[in-house]
A and B are shown apart, each in its own frame.
Chain A
C-alpha cells in the first residue's frame, strides 16, 4: 500500500455503493425511531421523576389531618416509588456503556427463549430480528439522557409560573402541558438537539449485532477489498450529511419558539 488514500480505491468502494445506500437508509430509520421512542420514554421518565405519588402520605398526617413535623413516618410518607424507579433506571443507563446495553438487549432480551422475533426482512434489506433490538437498546439509552435534559428543563422554570397556573384553577397535568413543558422544551432545545445528533452517531454501534447500517458497509468493504481509509471517508461524509442538517433544523425551531423572548 504505497498511498494512504487513492482515487482508484474510491472507484473500488463504489462497487459497494448499494451497501452504503442501504446503510444510509437503515441509519436514518434507526435514528428516527430511536428519537421517537426515546423522547416518549424520556417524557414518561421525567414526569415519573417529578411526580408526587406518595402511597404512604397518610402516615405523615396527624390524627386531625395536619402535617407531622418530623420523624421516621415523615420520611416514609415522602417516599415516592414511581420517582425512585425512574431515577434508578436513569442512573443505571447513564452509568453503563452503550455497547453493553446493546448486547444485553440483543443477546438477552431478544433471545429466542425470551422474545422470539420473526425473521422478517423489510424493504429487502432490513432484518427485523437485528434492527428492532438496535432500536430498543438505543431508545432505552437515549431515553435516560433525554429524561435528565427534560427534568432539568422542567425544574428550571420559575415556580411562579406553576403558582400562577394553579391559582387560575389549572390542575397539575394542565399546568405541565400548557405552562411548564412548552417552556422547558424551548429552554432545553439546544441540549435536545445535541442528543439527537448523538443518537445518529451512536447508532453506528449497532453494526456489532449485525445491523446493516453505514458502519456495517464500511466493515464489509474493508473485509473484501482490504482498504480502510476510503470507505471510512465515505462514511464520515454520510454521517456529517445526516447530523449537520439535523442541528440546523432544530436551530430553526429554536428561533421560531423564541418569539416570546424578543421585544
Chain B
C-alpha cells in the first residue's frame, strides 16, 4: 500500500516573525509521499501548525520552497510547460489540498448541504444535483445523512468535525491536512472523529496530521515527525519514535504525554 511516490517536497522552510526575532519555522526539510499518513507531534509553540498551514500557504513562508505537483507554490511565478514564466494559481493548488481545522470553520449561515456543495459547484462547476448526490453519499459514510438540512449550530462538536472532513473530501483532494482536529472536542467525541480519519487513512489518502493524540499517531501513522522550536528534531516510523526515541527533547516530551 505504501508507495515512494513523492507528492510534496518541503525544503528548508522558514517562517520568521518580528523581523526574524521569532522563528516559527527554522528550516524544515521533509518529503511527503503519496499514501503517507504523516503525524506531526511536539510541544505547543513548536511550529507544528505553522508548518501545516504553510503547506497550503495560509501562512506565507519567509524562506524555503514547497514543491507540490512539481510546482514551487511559495513563488509567485513558475516556469510553465512552454518555458515561459506563468503565475502560480494558489487557488488551483488549494483545491487539491483538503484542510480540516481545530475549530471546524463550518459556514454558520449555510445548511450542512450548502456547506458541502458550495465549493464543488462554484469552483469545479459541478452540477447541483450531482454535487448533492455526492454530498449525501459522503454524509452517509460518516453517519450524518439525516442532518443534511441542519445548520452547523445544531450539531455537536464531533458531528461538526466529521462534516468538515467530508466537506474537504467533496473536492477530491490529493492530500488532507489536519490541524489539531480533535483538540476542541469534548473527550467523548474524539473517538468518532479519529475513526473517520482512520478509515480515510486505510483507503490510502495522503494525510498530514498535527495532533496530540499519541494513540492515533502510533496506530494509524506510518511516519511521525517530532518538532520543537520550529525545527524538525526527529522523524521515523511510530515504532522508532515511540519505542526508541533518540533526541533528549523527544524523550522528555514523550515522558510527559504518555
Contact = CB atoms under 8 A, between A and B. Distances in A.
B99 A167 contact: yes
A182 interface: yes
B20 A69 contact: yes
A67 B60 contact: yes
A183 B92 CA distance: 25
Interface in A123-146: none
A163 B164 CA distance: 13
Interface stretch (B30-38, B137-145, B147-155, B228-236): B147-155
Interface of B: 16, 19-20, 56, 58, 60-63, 74-77, 91-92, 94-95, 97-99, 101, 103, 105-110, 118-119, 122-124, 151-154, 164, 167-168, 171, 177
Contact of A186 (B58, B95, B103, B109): B109
A66 B151 CA distance: 42
Contacts of A170: 91, 118-119, 122-123
Nearest to A163: B58
Contacts of A253: none
B98 A260 contact: no
A262 B105 contact: no
Contacts of A257: 109
Contact of A65 (B75, B92, B123): B75
Contact of A169 (B75, B77, B108, B171): B171
25 contacts: A61-B76, A66-B62, A66-B74, A69-B62, A160-B101, A161-B105, A163-B105, A164-B99, A164-B106, A164-B164, A167-B56, A167-B97, A167-B168, A168-B118, A168-B119, A169-B171, A171-B91, A174-B123, A178-B122, A259-B151, A260-B108, A260-B109, A260-B110, A262-B153, A263-B154
A166 interface: yes
A241 to B, nearest CB: 33
Interface of A: 61, 65-67, 69-70, 158, 160-161, 163-171, 174, 178-179, 182-183, 186, 257, 259-263
Given A65-B76, A163-B105, A174-B123, A169 B62 contact: no
Contacts of B164: 164
Contact of A261 (B98, B107, B153, B171): B153
Nearest to B155: A263
A260 B76 contact: no
Contacts of A165: 107, 119
B43 to A, nearest CB: 23
A168 B76 contact: no
A70 B118 CA distance: 39
Contacts of B119: 165, 168-170
Given A160-B103, A179-B107, A263 B94 contact: no
Contacts of A65: 74-77
